[in-house]
Amino acid sequence: MRRNASEPRAGHYTSFAALVTVAGFSLGYSSIGFGLLFLGALWSAVKNRRIPWARTPLDVPLAVFGAVLLVSAAASPYPRLAAGVTLMLLISGAVYFGAFAWLLAAVPGTRDRLLRGWAAGAVLAAITGLMYRALAHRFAAQDLLQGRAEIPRGVGPNGLGTTLMLGGILSAGLALRAERGERLLWAGAGVLCLAGLLASGSRASLAGWIAGVAYVVWRELRARPAQMAAIAGAALLLLVGAAAATPQFAGRLGHTVSDVNGNRVRIWHTSLEMIADRPLLGTGFGTFERAYDRRRAQGASPEPFAFNLWLNLAVETGLVGLAAALWVAVAAVRGWRHRPGAADPPGAAEMGPAIVALWIGLLVDQLADNTLFSISTSAGLWLLLALVTVVPPAGVGRGAGAADSAGAEPAPAASAV
């Protein structure tokens, strides 16, 4: 197929919009990038009759999951609410995943740029969150009384904990792969992300950070046990010292067991009852809070979600939806394990261990939280899915062939904005 003359412009525009998206992710502002990507996809649909996309092993599982969401919304006791939220999920997922996958398959160097932009945005989010926390401590303004770091008009404390956990793991991966001068830069970024995470007070995010950083350190330094032990010890001392210097977090950490027994276990138990009531298709995506209000005990506080990703999916989409989501997860793992080797452009850092560590941290975090169910925070999930299923082109001159070898559409056949 003859290359469209507008493709270079398509790549530049989509790359810019994607960088805006990942840079704003940690702040909770990636919806700005979504708007840019949506406009680009709309223009492409009008001009080229297709949106940015690249074939991946996830195409069929994602299509099935989307169909299950639509059926679940139609069968929901809250059809208007479920239909609206489901429609937004399908649109945002198609725009995010399509743009990320197309860029990774067609534009050399995209993976490295997006990962570095993501980590840089996390540093900005950490600084903003710490400043917000400092204002709360100094002025004790009415809207800052909870004392936990967050981003004004962006992510709340738990969401910030999740985004900074991912930024911290990514910074650790970049530091372990970088040259000496750049290594210090990314190590400093990782320290800032950890400080911001602790200031957010998110205990689930801290567990995810520990799991993710431990994995990436082990993968990168397992051939050098002495260096691995030294870095692990330094990271442990940093963590203990930073936690001790954050009294608000230390106080929350001390109440973890009682909070889990008194809050999380009650919500999880009620969630299981809700699944038993509507086991196949659930209550409809985005309806947990409405459905939970009908079952919560008198005097119990309303809850927006189940504080467990998998339970929340089962409540809202039923066991059929949970099975479809697990199919997506299995297909992503298989796509990652069977991808061709030597996929990186010459000179680019191999970030495979860091990408796996990001997944590990995210999955651990979401066992006790739900921070991915907004248009803004879901961007990270769609990017991670694209990263494990699309092999980037191996060089500037190879674009189309490399994309095709990954099972993705070559650049000329992929849709362009």
pLDDT of residue 242: 80
Yes or no: say if 392 and 104 are a contact pair by the CB < 8 Å rule: yes
- Angstrom distances, CA of residue 99 to CA of 36, 181, 383: 11, 33, 9
pLDDT exceeds cutoff 80 at 305: yes
Q: CA 209 to CA 203: how far, in whole Å? A: 10
Q: 98-136: per-residue pLDDT in tens?
A: 999 999 999 988 999 999 999 999 999 999 999 988 876
pLDDT (mean) for 377-403: 73
Task: Give the least confident one: 25-39, 83-97, 210-224, 331-345.
Answer: 331-345
* Rg (the chain; Cα; Å): 21
Does an H or E element contain 81, and which? helix 79-106
pTM: 0.89
> What three-state secondary structure class fits 299?
coil
Domain edges within the chain: 57-90+108-394
pLDDT (mean) for 298-319: 92
| DSSP assignment of 260-295 | IIIIIHHHHHHHHHHHHHSTTT-S-TT-HHHHHHTT
How many percent of the chain have pLDDT more than 90?
Answer: 64
Start-end of H helices in 202-255? 203-221, 225-244, 247-254
Yes or no: say if 282 and 69 are a contact pair by the CB < 8 Å rule: no
pLDDT of residue 297: 77
pLDDT of residue 135: 79
Highest mean pLDDT among 30-39, 148-157, 176-185, 242-251: 30-39
| DSSP assignment of 30-65 | HHHHHHHHHHHHHHHHHHHSS-S----TTHHHHHHH
The DSSP letter of residue 285 is T
pLDDT of residue 394: 59
Cα 342–chain centre separation: 25
pLDDT of residue 3: 46
